[in-house]
Amino acid sequence: PAPTVPTETLLGFTAVAKSVADKVAVPAGYTATVIYALGDPLTADTAPYKNDGTDTDFDKRAGDHHDGMEYFGLSASGTRDPNSSVRGLLAMNHEALTQQFLHANGATTGTRPAAESDKEIDAHGVSIVEVQKGTNGAFTTVQSSPFNRRITPLTPIELSGPARGNDLMRTKYSNAGTTTRGTINNCGTGITPWGTLLTGEENWGGYFARNAGDVAARGGEGNMANVALFRYGIDPRTQRVGTAYKSSSDAFTSRHGWETSGGDDKYARWNISQGGGAATADYRNEANTYGYIVEIDPYEKTAAIKKRTALGRFAHESASFAKPVAGEPIVCYMGDDSQGEYIYKFVSTEPWNPADAAAPNRIGVGDKYLDSGTLYVAKFDATGNGEWIALVITNSDIAGYATYDFQNQGDVLINTRLAADAVRATKMDRPEWCSVHPTTGEVYYTLTNNSNRRLAPNTSAYPAQFGLDAANPRAYTDTDGNGNSGNVNGHIVRLAEAGGKGNATSFKWDVYLFGAESDADPSLINLSNLTADQDFSSPDGLAFSKATGLCWIQTDDGAYTDVTNCMMLAAIPGKVGDGGTKTLTYNGTTSVTTQVGKPATADTLKRFLVGPKDCEITGIAETPDGKALFVNIQHPGETISKGNVNDPSKYLSHWPANAGYGAGGANGRPRSATIVITKNDGGRIGT
Ligand code: FEO
Ligand code: CA
Ligand code: CA
Ligand code: CA
Spatial distance between the Cα atoms of 623 and 613, rounded to a whole number of angstroms: 28
Q: Cβ(473)–Cβ(511) under 8 Å?
A: yes
* Residue ranges around ligand 1 (CB below 6 Å): 95, 187, 202, 317, 337, 432, 540
Position 4 pLDDT exceeds 60? no
pLDDT at 356: 98
Position 2 pLDDT exceeds 90? no
- The atom number, within ligand 1, closest to the CA of 317 reads 2
Give the distance (Å) from ligand 3 centre to CA of residue 300: 31
Spatial distance between the Cα atoms of 472 and 586, rounded to a whole number of angstroms: 14
- The atom number, within ligand 1, closest to the CA of 432 reads 2
First to last CA, the chain: 20
Spatial distance between the Cα atoms of 592 and 584, rounded to a whole number of angstroms: 5
Specify the amino acid at residue 553. Answer: I
| DSSP of 88-116 | EEEEEEE----GGGGSBTBPPPSSPPHHH
The mean pLDDT of 416-438, rounded to a whole number, is 98
- The atom number, within ligand 1, closest to the CA of 448 reads 2
In a domain, 644, yes or no: yes
Q: Cβ(296)–Cβ(199) under 8 Å?
A: yes
Position 322 pLDDT exceeds 90? yes
Phi, psi of 124 (to 5 degrees): -95, 170
Give the distance (Å) from ligand 4 centre to CA of residue 632: 24
Position 648 pLDDT exceeds 90? no
The mean pLDDT of 313-321, rounded to a whole number, is 98
Nearest CA to 450 among 470, 425, 431, 424? 431
Query: What is the distance, to the nearest Å, from the Cα of residue 18 to the centroid of all Cα atoms in its chain?
Result: 24
Q: Residue 534 has what DSSP assignment?
A: T
In a domain, 160, yes or no: yes
- Contacts of residue 98, defined as CB under 8 A and 6 or more positions apart, other chains included, come to 64, 65, 635, 637, 638, 640, 670, 672
Ligand lying closest to the C-alpha of residue 543: 2
Q: Residue 481 has what DSSP assignment?
A: T
Spatial distance between the Cα atoms of 184 and 435, rounded to a whole number of angstroms: 22
Dihedral of alpha carbons 314, 316, 320, 326, sign: positive
The mean pLDDT of 244-268, rounded to a whole number, is 97
The mean pLDDT of 574-585, rounded to a whole number, is 98
In a domain, 180, yes or no: yes
- The atom number, within ligand 1, closest to the CA of 315 reads 2
Position 593 pLDDT exceeds 60? yes
pLDDT at 647: 81
Give the distance (Å) from ligand 3 centre to CA of residue 617: 9
In a domain, 218, yes or no: no
Question: Could you give the ipTM of this predicted complex?
Answer: 0.90
Position 373 pLDDT exceeds 90? yes
Position 644 pLDDT exceeds 80? no
In a domain, 248, yes or no: no
CB atoms within 10 A of CB 7: 8
pLDDT at 1: 45
The mean pLDDT of 657-677, rounded to a whole number, is 97
Spatial distance between the Cα atoms of 650 and 613, rounded to a whole number of angstroms: 13
- The atom number, within ligand 1, closest to the CA of 337 reads 2
Give the distance (Å) from ligand 1 centre to CA of residue 595: 26
Position 642 pLDDT exceeds 80? no
With cut-offs at 50, 70 and 90, classify the pLDDT of residue 463.
confident
Give the distance (Å) from ligand 4 centre to CA of residue 670: 24
Name which residue sits closest to atom 1 of ligand 1, judged by CA.
187
- Contacts of residue 521, defined as CB under 8 A and 6 or more positions apart, other chains included, come to 476
Spatial distance between the Cα atoms of 16 and 82, rounded to a whole number of angstroms: 32
Name which residue sits closest to atom 3 of ligand 1, judged by CA.
187
Query: DSSP alpha helices (H): ranges in 423-531?
Result: none
Ligand lying closest to the C-alpha of residue 95: 1
Q: How many domains does the chain have?
A: 1
Query: DSSP alpha helices (H): ranges in 247-353?
Result: 265-268
In a domain, 237, yes or no: no
pLDDT at 494: 98
Spatial distance between the Cα atoms of 298 and 194, rounded to a whole number of angstroms: 12
pLDDT at 5: 52
CB atoms within 10 A of CB 416: 25
Ligand lying closest to the C-alpha of residue 483: 4
In a domain, 686, yes or no: no
pLDDT at 641: 67
In a domain, 232, yes or no: no
Position 623 pLDDT exceeds 80? yes
Ligand lying closest to the C-alpha of residue 541: 2
Give the distance (Å) from ligand 1 centre to CA of residue 629: 21
For the chain, how big is the Rg over CA atoms in Å? Answer: 24
Q: Cβ(669)–Cβ(100) under 8 Å?
A: no
Phi, psi of 416 (to 5 degrees): -50, -45
Position 377 pLDDT exceeds 50? yes
With cut-offs at 50, 70 and 90, classify the pLDDT of residue 384.
very high
Q: What are the CA-CA distances from residue 543 to residues 52, 259, 270, 547, 564 (Å)?
A: 35, 37, 34, 12, 22
Per-chain residues with Cβ under 5 A from ion ligand 2 = 187, 432, 540
Share of the chain above pLDDT 90, in %: 94
pLDDT tens profile 185-219: 999 999 999 999 999 999 999 999 999 999 999 99
Mean model confidence pLDDT for the chain: 96
pLDDT at 281: 98
pLDDT at 285: 98
Position 533 pLDDT exceeds 60? yes
pLDDT at 328: 98
The mean pLDDT of 423-436, rounded to a whole number, is 98
The mean pLDDT of 362-371, rounded to a whole number, is 98
Which range has the worst mean pLDDT, 180-189, 213-222, 475-484? Answer: 475-484
Q: Cβ(362)–Cβ(297) under 8 Å?
A: yes
Give the distance (Å) from ligand 4 centre to CA of residue 504: 40
With cut-offs at 50, 70 and 90, classify the pLDDT of residue 546.
very high
Q: Cβ(661)–Cβ(682) under 8 Å?
A: no
Position 527 pLDDT exceeds 90? yes
Spatial distance between the Cα atoms of 57 and 587, rounded to a whole number of angstroms: 57
User: For position 635, which CATH number holds?
Assistant: 2.120.10.30
What domain range includes position 577? 30-45+59-209+254-679
Q: Cβ(97)–Cβ(37) under 8 Å?
A: no
The mean pLDDT of 3-11, rounded to a whole number, is 73
The mean pLDDT of 118-141, rounded to a whole number, is 94
Position 402 pLDDT exceeds 60? yes
